[in-house]
Amino acid sequence: MSMQNLENLKAELSSFVSKERFDSFKFYVTPVGDDVLEVPKEDIVPVVRFLRESGKFDFLMDVCGADYLNNMQGRQKRFDVVYHFFSSRTYQRLRVKAQVGENERIDSITSVWKCANWFERETYDMFGIEFANHPYLTRLLCHHEFVGHPLRKDYVADQQQHCSSALPLHFPPDPNWNPEGRSLVPLNIGPSHPATHGTLRIMAEIEGETIARANVELGYLHRCFEKMAETHPYNQVIPYTDRLNYCSAPMNNIGYCKTVERLLGVEIPPKAQAMRIILAELSRIIDHFVCIGANAVDLGALSTFFYLFTYREMVYSLFEKLCGARLTVSLTRVGGMAQDAPPGWFDEVLEVCKKIRAGIDDLERLLSGNKIWIQRTQGVGAISAEDAIAWGYTGPCLRAAGVNLDLRKVQPYYFYDQLDFDVPIGSTGDVYDRYLVRVAEMRESLKIIEQVAKNVPEGDYTVRDKGVVLPEKKDVYGNIEGLMNHFMLIIKGLRPPVGEIYDVTEAANGELGFYLVSDGSGRPYRLHVRPPCFAIYQSFPEQITGGLVADVIAILGSMNLIGGELDR
Partner 1 sequence: MSQAVETSNSGMSGKELVEASRSFAFTTKLEAILAWGRKNSLWPMPYGTACCGIEFMSVMGPKYDIARFGAEVVRFSPRQADLLIVAGTITEKMAPILLHIYEQMLEPKFVISMGACASSGGFYRAYHVLQGIDRIIPVDVFVPGCPPAPEAVMDGVMVLQRMIAENHPRPWVKNWKRPAWIKPVG
Told to check if 159 binds partner 1 by CB under 8 A, we report yes
* Residues 95-134 as x/- pattern, contact with partner 1 by CB under 8 A: ----------------------------------------
- Near partner 1 by CB under 8 A: residue from 20, 158, 180, 458: 158
Please state, as a whole number, how many other Cβ atoms lie within 10 Å of the Cβ of residue 391. Answer: 25
- Near partner 1 by CB under 8 A: residue from 191, 336, 513, 531: 191
DSSP label of 521: S
How many residues bind partner 1 (CB under 8 A)? The answer is 52
- Near partner 1 by CB under 8 A: residue from 49, 143, 321, 523: 143
Residue closer to partner 1 by CB (options 224, 436) is: 224
Q: How many CA atoms lie within 13 A of 408 on its CB side?
A: 23
Query: C-beta of 275: minimal distance to partner 1 in Å?
Result: 22
Told to check if 550 binds partner 1 by CB under 8 A, we report no
- Near partner 1 by CB under 8 A: residue from 157, 185, 372, 490: 157
Please state, as a whole number, how many other Cβ atoms lie within 10 Å of the Cβ of residue 546. Answer: 12
* Residues 233-252 as x/- pattern, contact with partner 1 by CB under 8 A: ------xx-xx--xx-x---
Cis geometry, peptide bond prior to residue 135 (ω within 30 degrees of 0) = no
Query: C-beta of 433: minimal distance to partner 1 in Å?
Result: 25
Query: C-beta of 162: minimal distance to partner 1 in Å?
Result: 5
- Give which of 198, 113, 138 is closest to 392, Cα–Cα: 113
With 0-12 / 13-18 / 19 or more C-beta atoms within 10 angstroms meaning exposed / middle / buried, residue 523 is middle
Query: C-beta of 95: minimal distance to partner 1 in Å?
Result: 28
Told to check if 186 binds partner 1 by CB under 8 A, we report no
Query: C-beta of 321: minimal distance to partner 1 in Å?
Result: 14
Residue type, 481: E
Stretch that binds partner 1, among 156-164, 349-357, 501-509, 546-554 (CB under 8 A): 156-164
Q: Is the distance from CB of 392 to CB of 445 less than 8 angstroms?
A: no
Told to check if 326 binds partner 1 by CB under 8 A, we report yes
- Near partner 1 by CB under 8 A: residue from 172, 194, 265, 467: 194
Told to check if 166 binds partner 1 by CB under 8 A, we report yes
Residue closer to partner 1 by CB (options 193, 466) is: 193
Distance CA 444, CA 424 (A): 8
Please state, as a whole number, how many other Cβ atoms lie within 10 Å of the Cβ of residue 260. Answer: 26
Query: C-beta of 245: minimal distance to partner 1 in Å?
Result: 10
Distance CA 282, CA 322 (A): 13
Query: C-beta of 416: minimal distance to partner 1 in Å?
Result: 27
Q: Which helix (H) or strand (E) holds 59?
A: strand 59-67
The dihedral over CA atoms of 450, 456, 461, 464, expressed in degrees to the nearest 10, equals -140
Distance CA 83, CA 528 (A): 12
- Near partner 1 by CB under 8 A: residue from 290, 318, 390, 468: 290
Distance CA 382, CA 40 (A): 39
Residue closer to partner 1 by CB (options 3, 358) is: 358
Residue closer to partner 1 by CB (options 327, 423) is: 327
Told to check if 542 binds partner 1 by CB under 8 A, we report no
Told to check if 192 binds partner 1 by CB under 8 A, we report yes
Three-class secondary structure of residue 70 per DSSP: coil
Residue closer to partner 1 by CB (options 220, 393) is: 220
CA torsion through residues 134, 138, 140, 141, sign: positive
Distance CA 477, CA 484 (A): 10
Residue closer to partner 1 by CB (options 202, 272) is: 202
Beta bridge partners of 506: 511
Query: C-beta of 287: minimal distance to partner 1 in Å?
Result: 10
Distance CA 229, CA 236 (A): 8
Q: Is the distance from CB of 316 to CB of 327 less than 8 angstroms?
A: yes
- Near partner 1 by CB under 8 A: residue from 160, 176, 183, 455: 160
Residue closer to partner 1 by CB (options 16, 246) is: 246
Residue closer to partner 1 by CB (options 37, 224) is: 224
Beta strands at 35-39 and 93-100: parallel, antiparallel or unpaired? parallel
Told to check if 142 binds partner 1 by CB under 8 A, we report yes
- Near partner 1 by CB under 8 A: residue from 141, 212, 266, 315: 141
Residue closer to partner 1 by CB (options 193, 321) is: 193
Query: C-beta of 78: minimal distance to partner 1 in Å?
Result: 20
Residue closer to partner 1 by CB (options 240, 416) is: 240
Report how far apart, in Å, the C-alpha atoms of 116 and of each of 109, 112, 508 are.
Answer: 7, 9, 23
- Give which of 564, 565, 529, 559 is closest to 544, Cα–Cα: 559
Q: Is the distance from CB of 125 to CB of 145 less than 8 angstroms?
A: no
* Secondary structure (DSSP) of 397-453: HHHHTT----HHHHS--TTGGGS-------SS-SHHHHHHHHHHHHHHHHHHHHHHH
Beta bridge partners of 94: 85
* Residues 217-236 as x/- pattern, contact with partner 1 by CB under 8 A: --xxxxxx--xx--------
Three-class secondary structure of residue 66 per DSSP: strand
Binding site for partner 1 (CB under 8 A): 141-143, 146, 150, 155-166, 191-194, 197-199, 219-224, 227-228, 239-240, 242-243, 246-247, 249, 290, 305-306, 309-310, 312-313, 316, 326-328, 563-564
